[in-house]
Amino acid sequence: MNRLLLTAFALALGALSLAASDPFSKTADDVNTRTVKLFGSGGFRGVANYGTGVIVSPDGHILTLASQMLDTSELIVHLYDGRRLKATVVATEPELDVALLKVKIEGKKPDEPTGLDLPFFDVPAAAKRPLSTPGDWVLAHANEFEIAMRDEPVSVQRGVIASYSKLSGRKGIFDFGFTGNVYVVDAITNNPGAGGGALTDRQGRLLGLVGRELRNSLTETWINYAVPIGASVEFRDGDKVTAVSIPEFVASAMAGKYKTRPRTVATAGPGGYHGIVFVPNVLERTPPYVEECEPNSPAAKAGLRPNDLVSFVDGEPVVSIKAFTDVLRKARPGATVRLEVRRGDVLQAVEIKLEDAPKPAVAPKK
């Protein structure tokens, strides 16, 4: 009898010890029910076709980053319980770098209730809470490196808020669009697939969205950050300046009233030579189809082919030859630019290292 009591006591101590060493497991389980794994466009070198989102309504609205992964008609959501559902993009806000999705249910129209009744984060309530401060413990929940599928839980990282500071970031040749204050985290949270994940406190309350893989343009080092859930930006809409916050965007997009604007792409630096010759630019928005590549040019060396359609430059969409030219003429010689091109029915990545423009040939003197 005494042995049984001792054994039971030892097991109880072991359970208490395990609980003490894993104090965030309940929080992780709870947040996991409100987090989704996303799968969409991409899937080749340097361009992940997976990501993360957070559920922001019981009807299946999902908040995530506005990335190239969403550029597909086959956007798939994996819920915490293993259900695999399709989703559509409701709206995006490029200056906040966020997008709102909604799960599709077969037989129901997009504006009809889905009847899912999912666990969700209350975005307006989260935005009303005071900002976290440097030194606060935080947890990052995300499907980084595509570790989780179906009912497998997303990864959880523990860290500390190192600072709350203005973001100065760069993605490839582009200055990053969002320049507001962000949470800088001392853990390596911004990995492939992690963008759009949940940054929470120790109780599982939503603080912000895990950001992109991004370089700090001031220090040329990788930065691990999250956009606060109450973040807001101002942008010019005609002659007036308009402000929008993440909660306002979510509420307006859910109501079907948010008008998506094109992303403003900012670049810097003198022009770089690529050697692409496009089809004749005869329309206002002639698509950037490649006609040929100049011999020994960066484009020729990278393997770009006639009839390739340039769709993205470093993850940013380009819809016309003019848009491509406006971006590339400001890129630095020596910079490596990742183009995503449609070759037939397949989206492929091509990396081009820009060069100084070749000097014009000088005719020999007679």
Q: What does the domain layout of the chain look like in residue ranges?
A: 25-232, 266-353
* Distance separating alpha carbons of residues 25 and 176, to the nearest angstrom: 35
Query: What phi and psi values does residue 18 have, to the nearest 5 degrees?
Result: -65, -40
pLDDT tier at 18, thresholds 50, 70, 90: very low
pLDDT tier at 200, thresholds 50, 70, 90: very high
Give how far the C-alpha of residue 193 lies from the chain's centroid of Cα atoms, to the nearest Å: 8
Flag the least confident range among 49-58, 126-135, 324-333.
Answer: 324-333
166 or 139: which carries more pLDDT confidence? Answer: 139
Spatial contact of 154 and 52, defined as CB atoms under 8 Å apart: yes
Q: What is the pLDDT of residue 152?
A: 96
pLDDT of 204 over the 90 cut: yes
Of 133, 140, 146, whose CA–CA distance to 42 is shortest?
Answer: 146
Count the residues in the chain.
366
pLDDT of 258 over the 50 cut: yes
268 or 206: which carries more pLDDT confidence? Answer: 206
Q: What is the pLDDT of residue 160?
A: 96
Check residue 131 and give left, alpha or beta (phi > 0: left; psi -120 to 50: alpha). Answer: beta
Spatial contact of 55 and 102, defined as CB atoms under 8 Å apart: no
pLDDT tier at 270, thresholds 50, 70, 90: low
Do domains 25-232 and 266-353 share one topology? The answer is no
Pick the CATH number of 25-232 from 1.10.40.30, 2.40.10.120, 3.40.228.10, 3.40.50.300: 2.40.10.120
pTM over 0.75? The answer is: no
CATH class in words for 266-353: mainly beta
